[in-house]
Structure 1
Amino acid sequence: MRTAATLLIVALAVLVQATVVNRIPFAWGTGPDLVVAALAAVALTASPAVSAGSGFAAGLAMDLMPPADHAVGRYALVLCVVFYLVALLRANTGAPGAVGGRPSAWTGIGTALAASLGVSAAYAAVGLVVGDPRLSLGALAVAAGTGAVLTTLVAPLVTLPLLWMRTVFTEDEFATVQGPTRLGGW
């Protein structure tokens, strides 16, 4: 149930991001990144492999959905690597801010902020490597800062409910039959 609900919510974040948020003409340029906010909760409650896979799938969906204006795979690569590193950091540090095995709200919001800055920096780095002519340092700094602030502002609406849902549902809702415990069989 946890995996299915997570897939549904991340897919919904991708859909709303591509069809609503990316089409709003913000006066300051960039808007919040709902996908990053959703994946922050996944990275705080899942293994690095699951986080990387979720980031790759969500990023590839964003790469393929209009109005994408970059090479296919660029956002998928960035989300895959950033959320792998976030989950790896969480796994190796013991989830700072965890209360009863559940990351705190501040940890979720802080992770959304840090991930948003990391995604912006990694996206720009990939753009430099592939020779994106639209990159300028000033515009990039403004876009990254604005996007990080706006993503942090929407994190309580996206990250926290998903974080709560992932910690409430368990992966093994149904009892399973354990096989033979010794070499002789049952």
Structure 2
Amino acid sequence: MRINRILLATPLVVVALIIQVSILGRLQLPGAVPDLLLLVVLGLALVYGHVGGSLIGFGAGLLADLAPPSDHAIGRYALVLCVIGYAAGLTKPDSGQHRSATLPLMVVLGAALGSTLMYAGVGSLVGDTAARHVGIVGLLLSSTLYDLLLAPFTVPLVMALARRTEHDPLATDGSGGGSAIPVARRKPAYGWLTTGTGLKASRGAMKAVRTGRVPKPARGGKSGRMKGVKGLKGVKRL
């Protein structure tokens, strides 16, 4: 990962975890707790791609596993967010920016359902049956509702901050705007060096300098001078 990505993702993940543990976790809402950490990971994964999303998801989940009052096995939520970040990063378009909010909204919806199911599934493998007592259907409905309500205020802001770290000044136009110029349309800065005519002309000039010979004029110029001399002779005879 790039240094600027780490410098942005680290404070965002830490702040989201603090808000989730100290504020959202104490609201005593029915069902699940709003997962602000998941939304931050999704916002970063939608901009950074599947590799960055998986790494950020694993780090954020590991911090959540270690943060009090954690009562589950360490690495359980890290695995869930790693997979979710990887899957969300796969939806990143080739242009680097989503044209509408439909796809990010569908990603949030799928991540809310998938993270709850994966968390309960991993818990059943390690012997944690808390999800069965609470009710998996109630957890799915409440977590999806809370995440969808928080997503419009969280995901666009995180994506906007992440795009600023991905800004490439060489790929923008001269006006200073953010419109990127495709690589295929960029003209080489030294185009005359890459053309065959330019290479031949430069080679001929260098050869003339080394040998000390001045290149002969074109035939058209020579014939023009001969005709002019003959005309002058005719005038003298008259």
Report if TM-score (shorter chain) is over 0.5. yes
Equivalence for 2:165: 169
What is the Cα-based RMSD across aligned positions, in Å? 2.2
Return the alpha-carbon distance in structure 2 between the equivalents of residues 114 and 129 of structure 1.
22
- Would the alpha carbon gap of residues 101 and 52 (structure 1) be closer, same or farther in structure 2, given more than 3 Å must change? closer
Equivalence for 1:13: 16
Equivalence for 1:179: none
Return the alpha-carbon distance in structure 2 between the equivalents of residues 2 and 138 of structure 1.
38
Conserved 8 A contact 1:105-1:160: no
Out of 42, 55, 68, the residue aligned to residue 53 of structure 1 is 55
Indicate the structure whose relative CO is greater, using CA pairs within 8 Å and at least 6 residues apart: 1
Note the residue ranges of structure 1 that are not aligned, 5 or more in a row.
175-186
Q: Say how many residue pairs are matched.
A: 166
**SS at 1:69's partner residue?**
coil
Return the alpha-carbon distance in structure 2 between the equivalents of residues 173 and 115 of structure 1.
33
Equivalence for 1:184: none
Query: 1:101-124 deviations in whole A, cap 9, x for unaligned?
Result: 422333323222211111001101
In the alignment, residue 75 of structure 1 is paired with which amino acid? Y
1:117 aligns with 2:113: yes
In the alignment, residue 35 of structure 2 is paired with which amino acid? D
**SS at 2:131's partner residue?**
coil
Give the TM-score normalised by structure 2: 0.63
1:141 aligns with 2:143: no
Out of 121, 124, 127, the residue aligned to residue 128 of structure 1 is 124
Conserved 8 A contact 2:17-2:36: yes
**SS at 1:72's partner residue?**
coil
Residues 20-35 of structure 1 mapped to structure 2, 5 A cutoff: 20-26=23-29, 28-35=30-37
**SS at 1:117's partner residue?**
helix
Return the alpha-carbon distance in structure 1 between the equivalents of residues 55 and 61 of structure 2.
10
Return the alpha-carbon distance in structure 1 between the equivalents of residues 96 and 166 of structure 2.
13
Out of 80, 83, 87, the residue aligned to residue 82 of structure 2 is 80
Per-residue deviation, 1:134: 1.9
1:107 aligns with 2:103: yes
Equivalence for 2:150: 154
Query: 1:115-155 deviations in whole A, cap 9, x for unaligned?
Result: 11110011011011112132318711111210111011001
In the alignment, residue 43 of structure 2 is paired with which amino acid? A
Percent identity (aligned): 31
- Would the alpha carbon gap of residues 57 and 81 (structure 1) be closer, same or farther in structure 2, given more than 3 Å must change? same
In the alignment, residue 123 of structure 2 is paired with which amino acid? G
Conserved 8 A contact 2:47-2:96: no
- Would the alpha carbon gap of residues 123 and 70 (structure 1) be closer, same or farther in structure 2, given more than 3 Å must change? same
Out of 63, 66, 77, the residue aligned to residue 64 of structure 1 is 66
- Would the alpha carbon gap of residues 117 and 137 (structure 1) be closer, same or farther in structure 2, given more than 3 Å must change? farther
Return the alpha-carbon distance in structure 1 between the equivalents of residues 53 and 96 of structure 2.
18
Note the residue ranges of structure 2 that are not aligned, 5 or more in a row.
171-238
Return the alpha-carbon distance in structure 2 between the equivalents of residues 173 and 62 of structure 1.
36
